[in-house]
């Protein structure tokens, strides 16, 4: 599955050959989003406008869209960070709005920013977040070690995060989000602005997580990544889903599209989104 | 050069876009200059507002009236009288001890009569000449001046000097009056003794009377619990600057909160299965511990380092439990303020400026730099709202006035209420920011 698509981010690098997991129709629905609306202030256009989709156990679901499409807002609502204006989100059958405390035990978030304490070491950061997840003792140390190993930061674990390269910080950011082995992991552009090697390693780590049963909800601007990592994608624009399905099926169903990026540009237009 | 100019223009543009930053850059220093200038105005002006002094007149006689008029004419003191329900000496002492007034002058009952009797006795003794059999001396009348132990020496001296000046005038006048009355009588008495009416009668005058006072000024510290020691500068300055330092925790604390918000850590924390109150409490506890450490360190410096430099050793009274409680309350207040600043500001520069300027203003108003009682009335009224004033007043009560846990409760509750209010406002700010998606 080697792609020749060149995107505006980092140069196209060979990515690990991920095989999207076959999704059995009988798999349990982990995430159910229904008619989700989120508006900021009165009178403005909703950032998310009637979003509806399901994500099944073990899926890697890509949420794609141009800047301002509503991806981050949608993830924020799903992760209990924002209250929806209307609609509902259920995670493992639990209403996110009604029982945010229970939902938080099931989810992990890898935000766009490097959400770590720069002056703490990688290991100190992970220990801190692991404690907040309720881990302790030997289990905590094992999880921290596993997470460091997954993102290959064992050798640098005792260095302050502010001495890390951009790629190392992104990897540590991922490690902090999956320490507690969440049922579903939300990743908001986890590979922005990093070197090819780190990007490759992050995608490899995500693939391993998925194989271990973790459900992924993934936003990215890099279509190549989405095409290779996600078994299903939804393309958003203006707060709405304008296309949803398996990448190959979406590409095949649209004339003149050889890959997901071409499909994306056809659907969302090639004009700049500077808002 | 083009790089310099481009950067110069870019920075100006950035500053222009940051309206809050501009406000801070221009309005805050103006506020600081205004407040500090007003606070220090009286210290630097020679004809500034007079020091307020509680006057209790238990005599009600002519001399008491002349004494009062003399003090008022002098203009250095503002005499405050309790008109409706006149106070007695004990109540005046209590008012000073409780911090309501820094000074009280008590004119005891019978002062007019005592001064006049003593002046007459002295005059008679003088006219009797050297070697005449002396009557047992009458007691010298005493004016009592009670002062708050926290009052700095310069102000105490100013009040006593004014009073002594007026007393000296009164004394001279009274002695002169009696002498003017008795001298002709004495001369008349001597006239028949001269043979054939020759010569001038010369009464034998002793000038001993001139140095004998008829009215004394007794200064007394209004101390509780039988304390007799006067406070030292160390006792004023150590708690004052310790509080100042504790409130400066606002800068690292607000900076940390701001970074958490800006770098996404807060976002991550909010998705964790842990109560935000637990995270907040952990943060508060850590910074409170640092504040307490600061305070303890300052006490240690006062106890061990300052004496090496020649100052008296810091005396902290005998209420360690009350000191800890008050220090804890102050630490909570400082931490609450730091959290509020961290929740409201939008940049690290704003946090630094708001934090430092607010603390300096609160310290100036709170009497850290200049005692509250010498500020103009308007500034004294504003100083009531400074948490540093509450803290400092409480510590002076414990270190200097011999106060205890009960006496510092109002100050401690003020600080705890400040902590609760700042935390609530911070929480509201946090919720509003979340609602806006910031």
Facing residue for B264 by CB, picked from A40, A80, A113: A113
Question: At A89, is the pLDDT very low, low, confident or very high (cuts 50, 70, 90)?
Answer: very high
What was the pLDDT predicted at B6?
65
CA distance B275 to B282: 11
The answer to whether residue B25 scores a pLDDT higher than 60 is no
Residue among A167, A229, A219, A163 at smallest CA distance from A193: A167
Q: Of A27-41, A256-270, B330-344, which has the strongest mean pLDDT?
A: B330-344
Q: Where are the domains of chain B?
A: 18-43+230-436, 51-221
B51-221 adopts what CATH topology? Answer: abc type-2 transporter like fold (3.40.1710)
Measured between alpha carbons, how far is A153 from A169 in angstroms, rounded to an integer?
A: 10
* Residue-level pLDDT at B206: 62
> With bands split at pLDDT 50, 70 and 90, how would you rate the model's confidence at B202?
low
Report which of B322, B296, B292 is spatially closest to residue B395, judged by C-alpha positions: B322
For strands A60-64 and A86-91, give the pairing: unpaired
Closest CA of chain B from A168, distance in Å = 16
Confidence class for position A54, pLDDT limits 50, 70, 90: very high
CB–CB contact A113 B279 (8 Å): no
Q: How confident is the model at residue A14 (pLDDT cuts 50, 70, 90)?
A: very low
pLDDT at A6: 29
What backbone torsions phi and psi does residue B269 show, to the nearest 5 degrees? -60, -35
pLDDT for residue A11 is more than 50: no
Do A241 and A70 form a contact (C-beta atoms < 8 A)? no
Q: B384: helix, coil or strand?
A: coil
Contact in structure between B398 and B315 (CB atoms under 8 Å): no
Closest residue to B264, CB basis, from A73, A108, A115: A115
Contacts B263 to A, Cβ<8 Å = 113-116, 118
Per the DSSP assignment, residues forming a β-bridge with A216 are A60, A185
Ordered by start, the domain boundaries in chain A are 29-106+182-268, 113-180
- Which pLDDT tens digit goes with each residue over A166-201? 999 999 999 999 999 999 999 999 998 888 888 888
From chain B residues 213-242, the ones with a CB under 8 A of any chain A CB are: none
DSSP B312: P
C-beta of residue B115 within 8 angstroms of C-beta of residue B191: no
Per-residue pLDDT of A96-153, as tens digits, reads: 999 999 999 999 999 989 999 998 899 999 999 998 888 889 999 999 999 999 999 9
CATH architecture of A29-106+182-268: 3-Layer(aba) Sandwich (3.40)
Cα B349 to Cα B345: distance, rounded to the nearest angstrom:
9
Residue of chain B whose Cα is closest to the Cα of A119 = B256
CB contact under 8 A, A114 and B434: no
> What tokens does B401 get?
């006035």
Strands of chain A, DSSP E: 29-38, 48-56, 60-64, 86-91, 94-95, 107-110, 184-188, 215-220, 232-237, 240-245
pLDDT in tens, B334-389: 999 999 999 988 888 888 888 888 998 898 888 888 777 777 778 888 888 999 99
Tokens describing residue A152: 């290959």
How high is the pLDDT of residue B346?
85
pLDDT tens track for B383-395: 889 999 999 999 9
Q: Which residues of B349-377 are buried (b: 16+ CB within 10 A; e: fewer)?
A: ebbbbbbbbbbbbbbbbbbbbbbbbbbee
Nearest CA in chain A to B279: A132
Reported ipTM: the value is 0.85
A-chain residues within 8 Å CB-CB of B270?
80-81
As a whole-number percent, the residues of chain B with pLDDT over 70 amount to 77
Alpha carbons B70 and B162: distance in angstroms, whole number: 9
Residues of chain A positioned with their CB less than 8 A from the CB of B286: none
Residue B54 has a pLDDT of 87
Query: What pLDDT digit, counting tens, does each position of A105-119 carry?
Result: 999 999 989 999 998
A42-60: average pLDDT = 89
């Amino acid at each position: 599955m080697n792609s020749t698509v060149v995107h505006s981010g980092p140069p196209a690098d060979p990515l690990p050959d991920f095989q999207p997991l076959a999704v059995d129709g009988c798999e349990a629905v982990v995430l159910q989003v229904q008619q989700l609306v989120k508006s900021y202030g009165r009178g403005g256009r909703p950032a998310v406008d009637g979003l509806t989709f399901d994500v099944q156990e073990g899926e890697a679901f890509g949420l794609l869209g141009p800047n301002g499409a509503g991806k981050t807002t949608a993830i924020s609502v799903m992760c209990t960070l924002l209250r929806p204006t209307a609609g509902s989100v259920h995670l493992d059958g639990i209403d996110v709005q009604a029982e945010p405390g229970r939902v938080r035990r099931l989810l992990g978030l890898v935000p766009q920013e490097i959400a770590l304490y720069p002056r703490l070491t990688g290991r100190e950061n992970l220990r801190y977040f692991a404690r907040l997840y309720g881990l302790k003792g030997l289990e905590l140390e094992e999880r921290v070690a596993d997470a460091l190993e997954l993102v290959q930061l064992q050798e640098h674990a005792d260095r302050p995060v502010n001495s890390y390269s951009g790629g190392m910080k992104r990897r540590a950011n991922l490690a902090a989000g999956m320490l507690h082995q969440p049922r579903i992991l939300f990743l908001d552009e986890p590979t922005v602005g990093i070197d090819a090697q780190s990007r490759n390693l992050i995608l490899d780590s995500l693939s391993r997580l998925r194989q271990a049963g973790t459900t992924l909800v993934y936003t990215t601007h890099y279509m190549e990544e989405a095409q290779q990592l996600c078994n299903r994608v939804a393309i958003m624009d203006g707060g709405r889903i304008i296309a949803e399905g398996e990448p190959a099926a979406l590409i095949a169903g649209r004339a003149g599209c050889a890959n997901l990026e071409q499909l994306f540009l056809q659907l969302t237009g090639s004009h700049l989104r500077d808002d | 050069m083009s790089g310099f100019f481009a950067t110069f223009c870019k920075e100006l543009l950035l500053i222009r876009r940051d309206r809050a930053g501009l406000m801070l850059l221009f309005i805050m220093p103006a506020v600081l200059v205004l407040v500090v200038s007003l606070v220090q105005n009286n210290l630097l002006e020679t004809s500034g507002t007079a020091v307020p002094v509680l006057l209790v007149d238990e005599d009600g006689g002519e001399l008491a009236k002349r004494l009062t008029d003399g003090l008022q004419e002098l203009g250095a003191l503002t005499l405050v009288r309790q008109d409706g329900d006149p106070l007695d000496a004990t109540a005046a002492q209590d008012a000073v001890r409780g911090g309501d007034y820094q000074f009280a002058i008590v004119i005891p009952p019978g002062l007019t009569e005592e001064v006049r009797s003593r002046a007459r006795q002295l005059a008679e003794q003088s006219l009797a000449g050297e070697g005449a059999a002396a009557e047992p001396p009458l007691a010298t009348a005493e004016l009592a001046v009670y002062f708050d132990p926290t009052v700095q020496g310069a102000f105490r001296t100013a009040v006593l000097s004014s009073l002594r000046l007026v007393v000296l005038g009164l004394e001279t006048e009274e002695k002169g009056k009696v002498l003017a009355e008795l001298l002709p009588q004495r001369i008349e008495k001597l006239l028949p003794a001269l043979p054939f009416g020759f010569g001038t009668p010369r009464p034998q005058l002793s000038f001993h009377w001139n140095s004998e006072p008829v009215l004394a000024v007794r200064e007394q510290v209004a101390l509780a619990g039988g304390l007799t020691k006067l406070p030292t500068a160390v006792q004023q300055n150590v708690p004052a600057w310790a509080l100042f330092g504790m409130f400066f925790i606002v800068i690292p604390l607000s900076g940390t909160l701001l970074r958490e918000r800006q770098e996404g850590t807060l976002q991550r924390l909010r998705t964790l299965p842990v109560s935000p109150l637990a995270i907040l409490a952990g943060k508060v506890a850590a910074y409170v511990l640092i504040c307490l450490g600061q305070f303890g360190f300052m006490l240690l410096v006062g106890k061990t380092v300052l004496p090496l430099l020649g100052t008296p050793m810091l005396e902290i009274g005998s209420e360690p439990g009350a000191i800890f409680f008050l220090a804890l309350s102050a630490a909570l207040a400082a931490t609450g303020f730091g959290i509020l600043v961290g929740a409201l500001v939008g940049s690290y520069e704003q946090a630094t400026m708001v934090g430092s300027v607010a603390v300096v203003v609160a310290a100036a108003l709170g009497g850290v730099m200049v005692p509250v009682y010498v500020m103009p009335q308007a500034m004294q009224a504003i100083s009531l709202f400074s948490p540093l004033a509450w803290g400092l007043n409480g510590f002076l009560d414990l270190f200097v006035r011999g106060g205890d846990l009960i006496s510092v409760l109002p100050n401690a509750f003020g600080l705890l209420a400040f902590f609760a209010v700042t935390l609530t406002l911070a929480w509201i700010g946090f919720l509003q920011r979340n609602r806006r998606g910031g």
